[in-house]
Amino acid sequence: MGTKDSVQVEVIVTVSGNRRADTKDISERLQSRGLTVSSVLEHTGMIVGHSSEAALESLKQESGVAAVEAAGTVQVAPPDSKVQ
């Protein structure tokens, strides 16, 4: 029982430019490949969700998927910083 199966990562799936009309359908197919979908961004053509690390490879195989990436983070400096 490796950590790869149990640790959930936040995932952002970019749908291919020519398949953006199918974003909703693709999100459903990704669910059966192990993606827990939290939101479908129809205008930007992206699907946000969680999956195990082990499932990431399978998600990439789905037709119409241009990229599967772990969600990163951004920050701002503390409020008392002179430079923000």
Partner 1 sequence: MTNGTSTAVMNETTGKYIITYRQNEKSSTLKLLKDNAGIAAKNVVSSNNFESAAVSTADIPSGGGLVLEKLGMMVVDMPGEAAGTLSALESSASSAILAIEPEGVCYPINQTPALSLDYLRGFRDAAADLYDRASANGSVAMGLAGASFEGTETYTWGLEATGARTSPFSGKGIKVAVLDTGFDLQHPDFVGRSITHQSFVQGQTAQDGHGHGTHCVGTACGPRQPASGRGYGVAHGALIYVGKVLPDQGSGSDSGILAGIEWAITNGCHVISMSLGAGVPSTKTYYEAAGQRALDAGSLIVAAAGNNAARNLGNFGFVSRPANSRSFMAVAALDSRLGIANFSARDTARSAGTAVDIAGPGVNVYSSYPMPTRNHSISGTSMATPHVAGIAALWAEAANVRGSALWQRLITSARTLNLPVNDTGRGLVMAPAADTVIA
How many other C-beta atoms are found inside a 10 Å radius of the C-beta of residue 64? 18
Give the count of residues interacting with partner 1 (CB under 8 A). 30
Question: Is position 84 an interface residue for partner 1 (rule: CB under 8 A)?
Answer: yes
Q: Which is nearer to partner 1, 14 or 31 (CB)?
A: 14
Question: Per CB under 8 A, which region of 1-9, 24-32, 53-61, 75-83 contacts partner 1?
Answer: 75-83
Looking up tokens 């195989």 gives 61
Question: Is position 62 an interface residue for partner 1 (rule: CB under 8 A)?
Answer: no
What is the C-alpha to C-alpha distance for residues 68 and 70, in angstroms, rounded to an integer?
7
